[in-house]
Amino acid sequence: MPPSLTERQAQVLQFITAYLADHGFPPTQREIMRRFKMKSTRGVARHLEALEKKGHLTRLHRGARALAVQSPARGIPVIGKVAAGQPILATENVEERIDLNRSFARWRDAFFLKVKGDSMIQAGILEGDYLLVKPQPTAETGEIVVALLNGEATVKRFSKKGDRILLHSANPAYAPIEITQRSGDFRIIGKAMAVVRSLTAPMIRFETVRD
């Protein structure tokens, strides 16, 4: 268990954590200095060094925004399946959790879906990849989405023209899926934000999904 923090160290850590959650990247030392009305960045540096020694922070590199909050209990859940009528993050759907630096976890409630099949290979999404998904119930034409169709999760490129909805594969071997009243239960679970292919420490390579 990490050593206990002083009151000011806890306040600085809380500020960094909240800033990361809101902005997707950490604050600079000057931003921390202004927030706590310190006279110089040297005071900030001392607090950051203490937080690093106590296991709460990691310096990723030399730079203004090079902090990562250590939160081992937190992790993005990996969803092995998505069942109809069940919350997406239901305990029985979560196969494991992948811990990432908070600087990568920009999207609250994001989850990973392990990709099965080869229908999106020309979009750079391969079987066995982990797709980082931002939960949302709608999508724009051209976006890659995770959708639930008759109880089965599918990854496709979404398009809509008028009332006509099509789910396109990125593999010529698969025809588009047209969503009609006869298609059964259909809903969008979320938008694909990134593909994770290499999960080996210490670096995780993100390939951002382009619309």
DSSP reduced 3-state for 29: helix
Q: How far apart are CA 97 and CA 144, in angstroms?
A: 23
Q: What residues contact residue 191 under an 8 Å CB cut-off, 6+ apart?
A: 133, 134, 136, 139, 143, 144, 145, 146
Q: How far apart are CA 106 and CA 116, in angstroms?
A: 25
Report which of 175, 118, 161, 123 is spatially closest to residue 145, judged by C-alpha positions.
123
Catalytic residue chosen out of the listed positions 156, 159, 160, 198: 156
Tell me if residue 53 is catalytic.
Answer: no
Report which of 127, 113, 125, 129 is spatially closest to residue 168, judged by C-alpha positions.
125
**Is the Cα torsion angle 127, 68, 97, 94 positive or negative in sign?**
negative
Q: Which residues pair with 59 in a beta bridge?
A: 67
Tell me if residue 119 is catalytic.
Answer: yes
Six token digits for residue 101 = 């630096």
User: Catalytic residue positions?
Assistant: 119, 156
